[in-house]
Amino acid sequence: MNHETTLAWVLAAYPERVDALLRALDLERDGLQVVQAAAARGDTAGACRALLDYYRTGESGKWLREREVHHGNRGGEADLLLADIYTDMGRQYRIPRTPQGRINWAEEAIDSDRGWLWNFNRHEHLPTVLLAYQQTGETRYIQWLDEHIRDWVIGSLPYPAQDTIDARWRGLETALRISCGWSVIFFKLQHDSLFSDATRLLMLTSLPEHAHYLRHFHKGGGNWITTELAALGLLAAAWPEFREAAEWQTYCEETLLQSMPGQVYPDGVQGELTSMYHGAALGAFEQYAALCRDAGLSLPPGYRDWLEKMWNYLAYAMLPDGCSPQNNDSDHGSCRNGVIQAAEAYGRPDWRYIATNGAQGEKPKRGPSLIFPWAGQVIVRSGWDAEALWAFFDIGPQGFGHSHCDKLHLSVHAHGRDLLIDPGRFTYAFESEDGRFQGKYAGLSVAHNVILIDDRGQAMGPGGVDKPVSEEDYLITPELTFARGTCDAFFEEIYSGRLAGEAAHTRAVVVLGDEIIVVADRIETDRPRKLDALWHWHPHCTVEIDGETARSVDPGVGNLRIAPVAGFDWAVETVTGQEPAGMHGTMQGWYAHGYNNWEPSPASIYTARIERTSTFAWLLLPAHGEVPAIQGEIIENGDAALTLRIVMPGEQTLIVHIPWQNDKPTVQAYGGMFGGE
């Protein structure tokens, strides 16, 4: 028998930790009288045996004891773990070990991506092995769990008792280890003799340290504070025997509620302005709400209202295919099932209608196009059906934590597929494992549908705002959607030095029903400039260049035509899968549908030189199958506005007047007004 599995071994090896544990417990609590009596007479071993018996037969964490484990043994992942192979974000890593055979939990990753080691310390993989044990009954799985957790506790010493970036004790790792790993394992295995006394006791000695870190060193904003405090609340509710558990719970409740206005805008959008981390924060908020329900705690007043606002964003920003916007650091993923479940929980049939493309629920009274004015995110929809046009236009702050330099970016989805895209998040490493690709690519302007000036992109802009977008800068009517934004003083040192002189970019987007997207750009400058206008396509799009027009040409699916309208000539090329040695020494023409999963994708690059302040436009026409031709010309080009004549398919003529400030657009068709004010 491995001596490290015995209670006697823990008492001999870590007497100070055991003493600290007994002091941290409220031994006057009902059920702990035997523990208290043994401790009072100096029988530490007897106190520990009584404590472990208490947890085997007690009611603590009752809901966790009864909860089903849902993590499946995906593709033999449990067996890989037993072979010292950890799978993270679709990639496999060899678990590092010391010469003595223990896991080196603090060692940095083999390559430059430290993310996998952080995730490894979260112990979210433990339920996968637990489920394999439950399904097979093979003792090797529970023996691995027992040794794995014990090894972590030993390898985590000494507890730093201060804020740290150490992979063992960063806030997210500390929180998720409790909420996704330890709370499940500890209580689900209380009646299994193969889960050793040593590991049970070592886990208990480590819990006050987890609580101390989450209580005193949690982050002040973003999804971190939500995740960390929700875990603190879980720890307090599941292990109420600790003297400070009530204080932890009170602090968690008060601080979570106080944090909501600080990290969630009044329109319901979480301040990182990325749908994936919005979902992560919402998940942690919901985790605490579920904890209150399961543990019989009261939910703080107003808490549920904030959750509803956050779900409302996911519902109304959702693409027709059920996915969330892939803005800032977001993977491509569906939120449809979550929204449907939330629709039931919150009594929102309008969310169900959106998530089912109108098959169930009640048609929303607002929309289909709308703006989240604090986030500055404009969601364009032609309808609620699966084939509807959907577009995302960013005129708001950059967000914090997981933001990209992408103000004025435009994404387009139509006729059931993505056409113009946001790049995804790639990797948080500076370089990929093979050293070719820079993880920072996704955060740069060069990866987005924006304009570079003299080869420079946008610098980090304001992370947040204290007021919503001005109502002067958007208009949504049944006939059209309009929004306008400006980037100024943001061209900083990213590619090849600070931009000389002054320049600013204003972009206005006018969407006419489901027919056409008009994009108008104005570059204000004090000198001649080189411009690169970028349009990034989804990897599934086959892109052709016809003169100055870029278009996707895939038969039988949704396609898009991009036709420039300018008083000068554009040189245009499509770049796919270019590596760092190319354009501006960086990547170009890549897309990541998930972390560590990227592929080549077409990027149409329009290049021109301007001598002075200039305005120009783009006509974006989606269609199913072949996209018909569209023509446009500038008939007025002044400092106040841009006016275009557009000849639509079928020879319909539109006159679109787009002001640059303080006014709304007008559209004339056949001599009459087409929307506007």
Please compute, for residue 534, the number of CA atoms within 13 A of its CA located in the half-sphere on the CB side: 30
pLDDT interval class at 492 (50, 70, 90) = low
The pair of three-digit structure tokens given for residue 480, joined into one six-digit string: 């059209």
In the sheet that holds 529-536, the strands lie side by side as: 451-453, 529-536, 602-610, 571-576
What is the pLDDT at residue 116? 86
Which has more confidence, 370 or 440? 370
What is the pLDDT at residue 672? 47
Q: In the predicted model, is pLDDT for residue 280 greater than 80?
A: yes
AA letter at 69: V
Contact indicator for 507, 521 with CB cutoff of 8 Å: yes
The pLDDT tens digits for 119-170 are: 999 999 999 999 999 999 999 999 999 999 999 999 999 999 999 999 999 9
Q: In the predicted model, is pLDDT for residue 12 greater than 90?
A: yes
Q: In the predicted model, is pLDDT for residue 109 greater than 50?
A: no
Tell whether pTM > 0.75.
Answer: yes
The pLDDT tens digits for 220-255 are: 777 889 999 999 999 999 999 999 999 999 999 999
Nearest CA-CA partner of 326 in 583, 595, 58, 49: 595
The pLDDT tens digits for 67-106 are: 887 655 555 899 999 999 999 877 888 999 989 999 999 8
pLDDT interval class at 113 (50, 70, 90) = low
Q: In the predicted model, is pLDDT for residue 433 greater than 60?
A: no
pLDDT interval class at 431 (50, 70, 90) = low
Q: Which fold has domain 1-217?
A: Glycosyltransferase (1.50.10)
Q: In the predicted model, is pLDDT for residue 565 greater than 70?
A: yes
Query: Domains of the chain: which residue ranges?
Result: 1-217, 242-366, 371-626
> Which 3 state secondary structure label does DSSP give 19?
helix
Which of 109-113, 200-204, 267-271, 309-313 is least confident? 109-113
pLDDT interval class at 432 (50, 70, 90) = low
Q: How far apart are CA 349 and CA 360, in angstroms?
A: 8
Q: In the predicted model, is pLDDT for residue 496 greater than 70?
A: no
User: For the residues 181-205, what does the mean pLDDT come to?
Assistant: 96
Q: What is the mean pLDDT of the chain?
A: 91
């802009």: which residue's tokens? Answer: 461
pLDDT interval class at 401 (50, 70, 90) = confident
What is the pLDDT at residue 488? 80
Strands in 90-243 per DSSP E = 91-94
* Residues sharing a CB contact under 8 Å with residue 232, sequence separation 6 or more, in sequence order: 175, 211, 214, 215, 218, 248, 251, 252
The pair of three-digit structure tokens given for residue 510, joined into one six-digit string: 């006018």
Task: For the domain covering 371-626, report its CATH number.
Answer: 2.70.98.70
AA letter at 280: A
What is the pLDDT at residue 437? 54
The pLDDT tens digits for 579-590 are: 875 444 578 999
Q: Distances from the Cα of 111 to the Cαs of 66, 108, 133, 353, 403, in angstroms?
A: 40, 8, 32, 46, 24
What is the pLDDT at residue 675? 45
The pLDDT tens digits for 455-488 are: 888 888 788 899 999 999 999 999 899 999 998 8
Angle between helices 245-263 and 275-295 (to 10 degrees): 150
Which has more confidence, 582 or 421? 421
What is the pLDDT at residue 430? 61
The pLDDT tens digits for 607-624 are: 999 999 999 999 999 999
What is the pLDDT at residue 3? 67
Angle between helices 222-238 and 275-295 (to 10 degrees): 20
